[in-house]
Amino acid sequence: MEPLSAGIPRFDSGSWIQWVIASFVGYWSGDVLAVLVYASGALSPSAGFLLSDSARGLLIGFFQWLIIRQWLSMSRWWIPVTVFGWGTSLFVSELLCPFLGEPAVWAIIGGTIGLCQWLLLCRDIPRISHSLLWIAANVIGVFAVYSMTVFTDTHIAHRDLHDLLAQFGLLSLSYILYATMTGTVLMSLHTHATE
């Protein structure tokens, strides 16, 4: 596969902003869909967990694909790879959690998602194959989301609208951190690939 050519638009600050917004919207809409799937109660807990996290990956992958599709030759695989990364990593993490603990498991989740997406990115962005920045950004970003989720679950009483708004704000902050980190790494890698 040929690396990015001069005819490909640059991943500039405008693209970065679009990526951050798309990832943020994808994360929130994916969370809503995941909760609806899991809360339906129509599935066994294991199947509900797998399907709800795959649904989260579907919407995150879709919104990211809207932005990244013009830079990847194999962009049609972005959504399935993201679904696979979310679905399998979270399912496997449930099996490993009793042995490793939740913090290590969330690092595995971020690493699995990052690795799945990296396999597509490294085809078009040659320098990414020499770097683990994309995987690291996903590990740190997903871990930030996990940390904020634990914090809001343990420190916010969920009694009234104020508590819900506080939880929404703090989770939104962690989603923006994830989106900012991955967007910054993507812009850096694309910039180096087109120089």
pLDDT, tens digit (0-9, with 9 covering 90-100), for 101-148: 778 888 888 999 999 999 888 877 766 555 688 999 999 998 888 888
Helix or strand or coil: residue 101? coil
Residue 148 contacts by C-beta under 8 Å, 6 or more apart in sequence?
170, 171, 173, 174
Residue 138 is classified by DSSP as H
CB 56, CB 34: distance < 8 Å: yes
Q: Residue 191, Cβ neighbours under 10 Å: how many?
A: 14
Number of domains in the chain: 1
Q: Assess if residue 151 is contained within a domain.
A: yes
With a cut of 50, which residues of the chain have pLDDT below it? 1-4
**Per-residue confidence (pLDDT) for residue 131, from 0 to 100:** 65
In sign, the C-alpha dihedral spanning 138, 127, 7, 76 is: negative
What's the pLDDT at 5?
Answer: 52
The answer to whether 128 and 122 are in contact (CB under 8 A) is yes
Give a yes or no: residue 118 inside a domain: yes
Question: Does some domain include residue 2?
Answer: no
Residue 157, domain member (yes or no): yes
Is position 104 within any domain? yes
Give the domain range for residue 116: 13-193
Query: Residue 105 domain-assigned?
Result: yes
- 93 within some domain: yes
- Global pTM reads 0.85
> Residue 87 falls within a domain, yes or no?
yes
- How far is 150 from 144, CA to CA, in rounded Å? 10
Q: Which amino acid is at 108?
A: I
